[in-house]
Chains A and B, each alone.
Chain A
Amino acid sequence: MVPVTFFLALGAVLFCIGLYGVLTRRHLVVVLVCIELMLNSVNINLVAFSSIGPFANITGQVFSLFIFTVAAAEAAVGLAILIALYRNRESIDVIKQDIMRW
């Protein structure tokens, strides 16, 4: 039996990688992918607690399904915004998207 801390550690590592990606990558698509990674690290936590947590029940799995759905919708909307952005500014470099200042 793998202890629950392993899953939590995996989730934390994935989350940090995702966060690092969001904060450092210049390509907006990669940033979006990293956000997906962070969402999925949360999913791992939910599923782990759902199956081997101290109060194991089905709620966690149901919750992770919701997150999939939301992540899919978010990816769709996010990509659509990216395309619109690219059409308007001919760039999806994060550094260059700085018009919302002062």
Chain B
Amino acid sequence: MLQNAWLIPVFPLIAFIILLLFGRFLKDKSSYVGIAALALSFIFSLLVLMERIGGETYGFTVNWLTTGDRTISAGYEVTALNVMMLFVVAAVSLLVHIFSREYMHEDNRIHVFYSYLALFSFSMLGLVLSPNLLQLFIFWELVGLSSFLLVGFWYFKPEAAAAAKKAFLVTRIGDVGLLIGLILLFNATGSLEYSAVFSAIEAGAATNTMLTVIAVLIFLGAVGKSAQFPLHVWLPDAMEGPTPVSALIHAATMVAAGVYLVGVMYPVFLASSTAMLIVAWVGAITAFIAATIALVNTDIKRILAYSTISQLGFMMLALGTGGYVAGLFHLMTHAFFKALLFLGAGSVIFALHHRQDIRNMGGLWNRMKITSVTFLIGTLAIAGAPPLAGFWSKEVILAAVLEGGGIVLFLIAAVTAFMTAFYMFRLFFRVFTGEFKGEHEPVENKKFMTVPLVALAVFAVVAGFVNTPFAAGLEGFLTEGLNVGEQAHGTIWLAGLSVLLAAGGFGLAWAMYYKGTVAQDFFTSKAPGVHKLLLNKYYLDEIYQAAFARPTVAAGKFLAEVDRRVIDGIVLVAARSVERSGQVIRKQHNGQLQTYGLVTIIGGLAVIALAFVLRGYFG
């Protein structure tokens, strides 16, 4: 079965080609093509996962390019990390495909939507199967492309078009760093194969400084893709895309690619303590600031987007403090419960006819039972309520941070965990409890939308059990044959603290937004400045606009002017002078035979005279 792992990304690719060619005729039947392809991918990845557990790593490569004495190969590889990612991506992708059928059925470009989704699934599955960095980079750019296409799917909305452009440009900054990092790595180690790179680094192929530079540049790619501070600004705007897209790409899979990249290149990061420190601090800062913004935001999707950024920061923080398993474990559990939350949000938005402001929601608990219950499960999972998935992964992250990162990072992580519980329950209470504030009575959505919710809710409950302190199955699976250092484990008091933080966040949200015992403006009235700062997302967009975007545009305009005036001017002077001299000389060409004759004779005489003078015939 492992030999057939390459088929997993091929199914969505076939679906993409079919939809590209015949989508117009299939119309809303397109969804079945996508669902069928992803179902096959899912079954195959499940089989591959089952065979890989307890089995061996399988790799297949062919030589692709030879430059001098260095060879670049292409192929696929089934490692422990790969199969975990394959399973997560295929599962979430399949459920999102099913969900989208109902969500998008009113859109008459649904076949385009499904072809993009299939392209994304192909790219993402290809990304995780790549055995070398060059292949990974190609798929890396492909997922970026499909993200761009899907964010801008409703391109006729100016915000969506701007958001797509922003997502593409901001991630491009990271991708340039990644590409430079890859080139340096290739230069230093002579290979882009993971295993060859790691053994070369172990053998001391690169100096310490070089390794740090390479690791930081690769991390820059991850920062762009995984929306880490300071390149996180594209992800909230990417919520302009259809909600299933947000669930699949901007919550569960593509944004996790950055974390996956750091995980795959972990030996390189481990070799440089500076790089690890940078990863940890970027993760911590990201987790903290995104959580604080989520506290005050009022758009249901943007709250979830900031929550995603915050959780991705958590993963980076874990990886940066030596928690290899912790970060990747959280990546896996987060994919399920965040996809669940986004699809739940999609279900709410769909039922409310595309309204997203939580201030105008409320009282959906009795009206949309399945959505409400599954959303509650997702909320509990992300808040870290035992024994749901988020509890287990958050606990090992806290343990890893405490052990490898020191007290400051641990405090940041703990405060962020508290805020996570608070803003998620704030969202939950605002949307599902209280008075309903609309004209149209919302009803529960059809099966195509509720079944994925239930499936993801099941995952959100059980996904954590693969790696508990009592049976650390995932840890043994992921670290087998890898040298990633000693992994930290949770303790009882840490678990207690984790539950306490979640409960505290829940309690505060409950008191403020359900019971009303604490006034909702209790904090905002005390610190209006902070509230304003958070509402405006630390003014980062404005700062970037002023610091980078406007100077760039101004420089562009200036250079355009230079081009128009100076460069074009020089060209024009050259052209005009030729033209002018032509005008002058043309006058001499007057058709007068006798003038021509005279000129010819004088010229001939001049040549003869010259020859005589030069050759000395007179002497």
Contact = CB atoms under 8 A, between A and B. Distances in A.
B593 A94 contact: yes
A48 interface: no
Interface in B551-568: none
B598 interface: yes
Interface in B312-355: none
A98 B598 CA distance: 15
A102 B582 CA distance: 11
A98 B592 CA distance: 5
A24 B590 contact: no
Contacts of A94: 592-594
A55 to B, nearest CB: 23
A98 B601 CA distance: 20
B591 A98 contact: yes
A2 interface: no
Given A19-B601, A23-B601, A101 B589 contact: yes
Contacts of B529: none
A48 B592 CA distance: 36
Interface string A90-102: 0000110111111
A9 B436 CA distance: 125
A47 interface: no
B510 to A, nearest CB: 94
A22 B589 CA distance: 19
Contact of A102 (B586, B593, B594, B598): B586
A98 B589 CA distance: 10
A60 B389 CA distance: 119
Interface in A67-102: 94-95, 97-102
A31 to B, nearest CB: 8
B597 A23 contact: yes
Contacts of B592: 94-95, 98
A97 B592 CA distance: 7
Of residues B586, B590, B592, which shows the largest number of chain A Cβ atoms within 10 Å of its Cβ? B592
Interface residues on B, range: 10 to 19
A30 to B, nearest CB: 12
Contacts of B598: 23
B590 A101 contact: yes
B347 to A, nearest CB: 79
B262 to A, nearest CB: 73
Of residues B589, B594, B598, which shows the largest number of chain A Cβ atoms within 10 Å of its Cβ? B594
B594 A100 contact: no
Contacts of A102: 586, 589
B167 to A, nearest CB: 60
Contact of A22 (B590, B591, B594): B594
A22 B593 CA distance: 10
A101 B591 CA distance: 4
Given A19-B601, A23-B601, A98 B594 contact: no
A35 to B, nearest CB: 11
A101 B585 CA distance: 12
Of residues B591, B597, B601, which shows the largest number of chain A Cβ atoms within 10 Å of its Cβ? B591
A35 B253 CA distance: 95
A99 B589 CA distance: 11
Interface string A1-32: 00000000000000000010011100000000
Nearest to A100: B591
Nearest to B594: A23
B600 to A, nearest CB: 10
A100 B595 CA distance: 13
Contacts of A19: 601
A102 B590 CA distance: 8
B590 A98 contact: yes
Contacts of B597: 22-23
A82 to B, nearest CB: 13
A99 B591 contact: yes
A99 B593 CA distance: 10
Nearest to B600: A23
Contacts of B591: 97-101
Nearest to B592: A98
Contact of B594 (A24, A99, A101): A24
B604 to A, nearest CB: 11
A95 B593 CA distance: 8
A99 B590 CA distance: 9
A45 to B, nearest CB: 18
A25 B593 CA distance: 11
Contacts of A23: 594, 597-598, 601
Nearest to B586: A102
Contacts of A99: 591
Of residues A19, A23, A98, A100, which shows the largest number of chain B Cβ atoms within 10 Å of its Cβ? A23
A70 to B, nearest CB: 20
Nearest to B588: A101
Contact of A97 (B586, B589, B593, B601): B593
B426 to A, nearest CB: 85
Interface of B: 586, 589-594, 597-598, 601
Q: Ordered nearest first, which 5 A-B pairs have the shortest CB separation?
A: A101-B591, A98-B591, A23-B594, A100-B591, A23-B598
8 contacts: A19-B601, A22-B597, A23-B597, A23-B601, A24-B594, A94-B593, A97-B593, A101-B590
Given A19-B601, A94-B593, A100-B591, 11 more contacts: A22-B594, A23-B597, A23-B598, A23-B601, A24-B594, A95-B592, A97-B591, A98-B590, A98-B591, A101-B590, A102-B589
